[in-house]
Chain A
Amino acid sequence: MNALKQLLVVSLMNFRNLRRRMDSSLVAVAGFAGVVLVVVAILSIRAGFHATLATTGSPDVAIVLRGGAGSEVNSVLGGNQSFTIGQAPGVAQDQSGAIVSPELLVQISLKKRASGLQSSVSFRGVTADAFKVHAKVHIVSGRMFKPGLNEVIVGAEAAHLFQGVQLGDTLHTGRYHWQVVGIFDDGGGLHNSEIWTSLPVLQGAYQRGNSVSSMYAKLTSAAVFPAFKESLEHNPQLNVSVQRESDYFAGQAQGMSLFIGIVGAIIAVLMGGGAVFGAVNTMYTAVAARTQEIAMLRALGFGRMPVLASVLIEALVLGLVGGVCGGVLAYLLFNGFQATTFNSLTIIAFRFAVTPQLLGWGLAYALVMGLLGGLLPAVRAVRLPIAASLRQS
């Protein structure tokens, strides 16, 4: 109890005269805040990209691609295979039969509204089954395209990002003109960066005959997937690879995820190192400024531990303040920030997500940095020779 009381007294004393050491302490706080701001911001890119892909993929939907094709962009399947796939075990049925959505993906070039730069955008041809498989997709303004007409619906992010694809616009690509009749939203997923039209019309426009890029099958439950995969991949008439939709999209994010993770770690360690040494400076100054004070306390009978702990607590408080400032700044500046990236030759729009989890990590890291910064100065504080320090003027 006595030690705790001493600790309280010493710490309060420290904070009361913190004002005199304000500029130096602010430097340490700014250092921690800078690190937390940058690291949280970088990792929020990954969190946002993950969220977009996770929203898109569902564990009870299977995606069928040509064997060896890494992504939809490289895959070609015959349209007649949808029948075989519909016969596989575990495919969900409704009144119109097995729910299998054949989809054709082509890339078109559109100009970004902000920069005027050309971007590669996914143009997807779908049938009515697509809206059963991708159940989150719904029209937010305008109406659905009519099958057989050169009409398109545009994802909410795509409409926001690109020129000439707003409701009522006519989209020109190649020799064809497409009327934008609706804007759709899939709840923040990948399809929001795409443009959709009726499958046969797209096949005609791009001379694809009856071929498609991929087939999405709705399964009766997530558990039947292994049987479904087994039956298709071992069917000698087919040469396909089958993945869960959720795994497929998680796989698409892997490279970027790893890259951002590495860059985030490099920045966290190096910038954090710089900030810790700045903080060590600050805390040494704080200890030096209080040499006499500390010696006096020790002479009065205060123990080593309360003095040591009081320095550490001051450093931790600096870390805490820095961590909170950095986290709040990161949230205000970057949460929901719209960005695009490039994956498998198509543009994907997503929003930075400063999640509570990231903020928690940021704060924890700031406290660790504070602790590291306070450690050596705290040890020096308790090692001060009492008599000599008291004599100092």
Chain B
Amino acid sequence: MKYLPLLWSNLARHKTRLVCTLLSVVFAFLLFGMLMAIRQAFTLGANFAGANRLLTMSAVSLTVALPISYGDRIASVKGVERVDPQNWVGGYYQETRNTVYALAVRSADFFTIYPEYQLPATEQHAWLADKRGAIVGAALAKQYGWKLGQQIPLRSNIWRNKDGTNVWDVTVDGIYTSDQKGGDSQLFMHYQYLDDARSFANNTVSWFVLQIANPDQAGEVAQSVDALFANSPSETRTSTEKAFVANFAAQYGDIGAIVTAVVAVVLFTMLLVTVNTMAQSVRERTGELAVLKALGFGNLRLTGLVLAESLAITLVGGIIGLVLSYVVIGGIPGALLQFLPGLYLPAHAAALAVGLMLLLGVLAAVLPVSRAVRLQVITALRSAG
């Protein structure tokens, strides 16, 4: 603690330089936070897919429907506890670009299969009792200003009902939240409503969600399910929800690799800036360092001083940047979020950022420290004379 004034006076020696370096680091970590949030959004929630859920879909393609009769046969497979037939709605609100991630599900078992969704019991009952009811995620409701009890003319870019329109009126019976961040941007309606009223493809589903008893047996259960339908007109492919979401997300492109590459270039540049600052600052203080050495400061304490100075810059700048990114991401208007629901700064990214700040601080101190340690007191004092 007694070195704090010394540390401060060293840092404040060149205020402009200190501010410039700090701002460089602030910008770098502000960018880092935003990129990590984008990367997170592109995992499409693969991180919180349930370990005890499997997905059975057509082996040909996700767009090929399966007969609903498969549901009962899947349910009879050993290890399968519940089966939920789900149908992709292709929903949008008012205009085609306002995509609504809407699914038609069999509601009776829904909350058992998806324990992460939370909804008051009264709203659950209201939804189960209302054939044309829907529950919407809190983020989605906020985005379009939907209120409980409101009727929404949801449109589908796939399904027409029997009166020839693509409008599916649903009532908001419940607004759910999710204990997983970013998991509250979907709309769920009743499968029976969609299937009874649609003009084609009746008695089919997009996929089945299976709840299994033991996540360790996922592989065996998946194989038994697919074996049931081998060589039938509609062969199936079953995978864990996590594997499916990860594979689906990967098709958008390797966002992870792109973000990593950009972050690497950003941090490398910032490393150069910080190294430069530290090198300059130590070079200018050659005389002072020599005096400290003459006063009996050991190499360890000198190293500590330079390192502390460097770390102070990267940590203070980095944390300001990270906090700013958190504020900015939180302030993004809902209209923009529809492109990327689930945009948030995950905790592991924040931890990674702090790790990188420490690394950056240490790396930036290496060169100046080695210079300070090798300093010959006599020569330095004489030349500083």
Q: Is A108 an interface position by the 8 A CB rule? A: yes
Would you call A109 and B59 a contact (CB within 8 A)?
Answer: yes
Interface residue tally for chain B (C-beta within 8 Å):
58
Segment from B26-34, B45-53, B183-191, B207-215 that makes contact with A = B26-34
CB-contacts of A267-305 with B (<8 A): 267, 270-271, 273-275, 277-278, 280-282, 284-285
Tell me what chain A mostly uses at the interface: helix, strand, loop, or mixed.
helix
Name which of A68, A69, A339 has the most chain B CB atoms within 10 A of its CB.
A68
What chain B residues lie within 8 Å of A258 (beta carbons)? 339
Segment from B71-79, B128-136, B246-254, B294-302 that makes contact with A = B246-254
Would you call A281 and B17 a contact (CB within 8 A)?
Answer: yes
CB-contacts of A66-125 with B (<8 A): 68-71, 73-74, 76, 106-109, 115, 117-120
Segment from A30-38, A129-137, A230-238, A307-315 that makes contact with B = A30-38
Kindly state the separation between the CA atoms of A68 and B154 in the bound complex, as whole angstroms. 13
Would you call A281 and B276 a contact (CB within 8 A)?
Answer: yes
Given contacts A42-B262, A175-B231, contact A277 B24 (CB under 8 A): yes
Q: Is A174 an interface position by the 8 A CB rule? A: yes
Kindly state the separation between the CA atoms of A115 and B249 in the bound complex, as whole angstroms. 14
Would you call B157 and A31 a contact (CB within 8 A)?
Answer: no
Would you call B21 and A274 a contact (CB within 8 A)?
Answer: no
Given contacts A108-B60, A173-B60, A274-B23, contact A38 B273 (CB under 8 A): no
Would you call B268 and A34 a contact (CB within 8 A)?
Answer: yes
CB-contacts of B2-55 with A (<8 A): 16-17, 20-21, 23-28, 30-31, 34-35, 38
CB-contacts of B60-100 with A (<8 A): 60-64, 90, 92, 96-97
Q: Name the one of B27, B200, B265, B340 contacting A273, with C-beta atoms under 8 angstroms.
A: B27
Residue in A closest to B233 when the chains form the complex, CB atoms:
A175
Please give the distance in Å from A122's CB to the nearest CB on chain B. Answer: 10
Interface string of B334-348 (1 = CB under 8 A from A): 001001100000000
What chain B residues lie within 8 Å of A31 (beta carbons)? 269, 272-273
Tell me what chain B mostly uses at the interface: helix, strand, loop, or mixed.
helix
Kindly state the separation between the CA atoms of A34 and B265 in the bound complex, as whole angstroms. 6
Given contacts A70-B96, A174-B59, A271-B31, contact A117 B247 (CB under 8 A): yes
Would you call B252 and A341 a contact (CB within 8 A)?
Answer: yes
Please give the distance in Å from B277's CB to the nearest CB on chain A. Answer: 6
- 7 additional A-B residue pairs with CB within 8 Å, beyond A70-B157, A263-B38, A281-B17: A24-B276, A31-B269, A68-B166, A70-B92, A106-B64, A108-B60, A274-B27
Which residues of A are in contact with B by a Cβ distance under 8 Å?
A: 23-24, 27, 30-31, 34-35, 37-38, 42, 68-71, 73-74, 76, 106-109, 115, 117-120, 173-175, 206, 239, 254-255, 258-259, 262-263, 266-267, 270-271, 273-275, 277-278, 280-282, 284-285, 339-342, 345, 347
Which residues of B are in contact with A by a Cβ distance under 8 Å?
A: 16-17, 20-21, 23-28, 30-31, 34-35, 38, 59-64, 90, 92, 96-97, 155, 157-158, 164, 166, 200, 231, 233, 235, 237, 247, 250-254, 258, 262, 265-266, 268-270, 272-273, 275-277, 279-280, 336, 339-340
17 contacts between A and B (CB under 8 A): A69-B158, A106-B61, A174-B233, A175-B231, A254-B97, A263-B38, A270-B27, A270-B31, A281-B273, A284-B16, A284-B20, A339-B253, A339-B254, A341-B253, A342-B253, A345-B62, A347-B251
